[in-house]
């Protein structure tokens, strides 16, 4: 196999993984507003919140158990088969929701699009054959019957299955925490982010896992792994001081957009241009996760976008110093590694000097003529 062939195969695998991940995150991301509403209500009104209020705290349970999974299921269904798919997906997802004693995000991400997919195929076969005048009757009852059947199936089969998978994943994360191995996750997460899998990882994996933990423990470290703006900030700072001429000029603006605006994509090109910088992102990510783990830091709900402002807004009372410490550790480590890798700008300065002397020499020649 030639390198070109393997290169194009790699590219197609990459875009396939991106597309699948993009589908997962596109079920979650349009609903982040509801996640934030839930996170704010939780942070404010639960017994250890800023402003405890027993009556308003009653919002917390139903929102996380019903509202958020149903929104995900509806969005996932809509992506597959329009509003009709969304309705069937949401109704069918009620089955997995009542079957489990945890928020059924994974179940919703499965049942929503799957139910819509079945509806779509049913419609494709049946709709052309409906007698004139019976369209509404058939359409309403086919959607209703399918949704009811899938809800029952979800309650008895899919729910327990997905529940077991979700528990196993949660146990795996807990195992990594207990063994102090969680920082190793950064070795996968940071390179995957730069390949534009950042939303897929955060909203496809960490948001469902973290929400399950946040419900039982009040906060979750899972929300901090991908959203920590520290590694990117360290790299951008290093590029601002020691990078090429173009990097030095654009990095300050990128820092504001990245760190405060939370759009991490803005630092990916700096790594793609100089792939060795990925080591700085990994090192920074690992130090950040290690610090979060040691200090027992966590967030109440998903922080999106990964801006320092969003992180602070969903940090539980009394947890801000720990979160900031992890962000700072990631920034410092990533900055130091990136600066070393950039040779503190030595090679850039040399290149610029050479360019200048060449220019001067050219000018001199011009003058001599």
Partner 1 sequence: MSSIEGSAIKKVVVACDAGMGSSVLLTSQLSKSLSPHGVAVEHAPVDRIPEGADVVLCHTGLVDRARKRAPDTVVIAFQMFMGDPAFARLEQAVRDGSTLAE
Instruction: Give dist(CA 310, CA 313) in Å, integer.
Output: 5
Alpha-carbon distance of 317 to 298, in angstroms, equals 11
What's the distance, Cα to Cα, between the start and end of the chain in Å? Answer: 55
Point out which span in 91-99, 181-189, 253-261, 289-297 binds partner 1 (CB under 8 A). Answer: 253-261
DSSP 3-state assignment of 340? helix
11 contacts partner 1 (rule: CB under 8 A): yes
Query: Whole-number minimum distance, CB 348 to partner 1, in Å?
Result: 17
Residue pointed to by tokens 């410490």: 325
* 265-294 positions binding partner 1, by CB under 8 A: 265-266, 268-269, 272-273
CB-CB contact of 233 with 241 (8 Å): no
Cα(239)–Cα(258) distance, integer angstroms:
14
What minimum distance in Å lies between the beta carbon of 238 and partner 1?
A: 16
Nearest distance from C-beta of residue 288 to partner 1, angstroms: 21
- DSSP symbols for 256-283: HHHHTT--GGGGHHHHHHSGGGHHHHHH
Among 196, 241, 248, 313, binds partner 1 (CB under 8 A): 196
Task: Specify burial of residue 302 (Cβ count, 10 A radius: 0-12, 13-18, 19+).
Answer: buried
Among 99, 199, 227, 331, binds partner 1 (CB under 8 A): 199
61 lines the binding site for partner 1 (CB under 8 A): no
CB under 8 A: which stretch of 43-51, 84-92, 258-266, 330-338 binds partner 1? 258-266
- Separation CA 331–CA 281 (nearest Å): 9
Q: Does 12 bind partner 1 (CB under 8 A)?
A: yes
Cα separation, 77 vs 84, in Å, equals 8
By CB under 8 A, what part of segment 98-127 binds partner 1? none
From residue 18 to residue 37, the character string flagging contacts with partner 1 as x (rule: CB under 8 A) and all else as - is: xx--xx-xx--xx-------
Per CB under 8 A, 246 contacts partner 1: yes
Q: Is 347 a residue that touches partner 1 (CB under 8 A)?
A: no
Part of the chain binding partner 1 (CB under 8 A), chosen from 12-20, 70-78, 283-291, 331-339 = 12-20
- Contact criterion met (CB below 8 Å) for 91 and 152: no
Residue with smaller CB distance to partner 1, 230 or 243: 243
Task: Kindly state the number of chain residues that form the binding site for partner 1, as judged by CB under 8 A.
Answer: 33
Q: Which of 33, 105, 68 is nearest to 313 (CA)?
A: 33
Binding region for partner 1 (CB under 8 A): 11-12, 14-15, 18-19, 22-23, 25-26, 29-30, 195-196, 198-200, 246, 249-250, 253-254, 257, 261-263, 265-266, 268-269, 272-273, 305
């Amino acid at each position: 196999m030639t390198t070109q062939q393997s290169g194009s195969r790699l590219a197609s695998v990459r875009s396939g993984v991106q597309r699948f991940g993009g589908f997962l995150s596109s079920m979650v991301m349009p609903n982040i507003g509801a996640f934030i509403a839930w996170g704010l209500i939780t942070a404010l009104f639960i017994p250890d919140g800023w402003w405890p209020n027993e009556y308003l705290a009653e919002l917390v349970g139903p929102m996380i158990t019903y509202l958020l999974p149903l929104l995900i299921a509806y969005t996932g269904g809509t992506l597959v088969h329009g509003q009709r798919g969304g309705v069937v997906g949401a109704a069918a997802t009620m089955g997995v929701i009542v079957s489990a004693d945890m928020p059924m995000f994974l179940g919703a991400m499965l049942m929503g699009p799957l139910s819509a997919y079945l509806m779509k195929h049913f419609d494709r076969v049946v709709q052309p054959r409906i007698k004139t005048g019976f369209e509404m009757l058939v359409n309403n009852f086919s959607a209703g019957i399918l949704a009811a059947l899938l809800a029952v199936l979800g309650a008895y089969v899919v729910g327990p299955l997905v529940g077991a998978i979700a528990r196993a994943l949660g146990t795996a994360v807990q195992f990594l925490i207990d063994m102090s191995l969680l920082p190793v996750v950064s070795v996968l997460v940071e390179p995957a982010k730069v390949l534009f899998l950042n939303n897929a990882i955060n909203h496809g994996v960490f948001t469902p896992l973290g929400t399950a933990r946040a419900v039982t423990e009040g906060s979750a470290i899972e929300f901090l792994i991908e959203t920590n703006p520290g590694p990117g900030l360290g790299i951008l700072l290093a590029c601002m001081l020691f990078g090429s001429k173009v990097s030095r000029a654009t990095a300050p603006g990128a820092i504001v957009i990245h760190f405060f605006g939370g759009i991490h994509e803005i630092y990916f090109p700096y790594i793609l241009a100089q792939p060795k910088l990925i080591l700085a992102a990994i090192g920074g990510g690992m130090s950040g996760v290690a610090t979060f783990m040691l200090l027992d830091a966590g967030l109440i709900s998903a922080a999106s976008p990964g801006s320092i402002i969003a992180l602070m807004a969903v940090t539980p009372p009394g947890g801000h110093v720990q979160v900031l410490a992890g962000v700072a550790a990631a920034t410092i480590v990533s900055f130091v590694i990136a600066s070393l890798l950039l040779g503190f700008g030595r090679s850039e300065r040399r290149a610029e000097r050479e360019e200048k002397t060449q220019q001067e020499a050219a000018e001199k020649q011009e003058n001599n003529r």
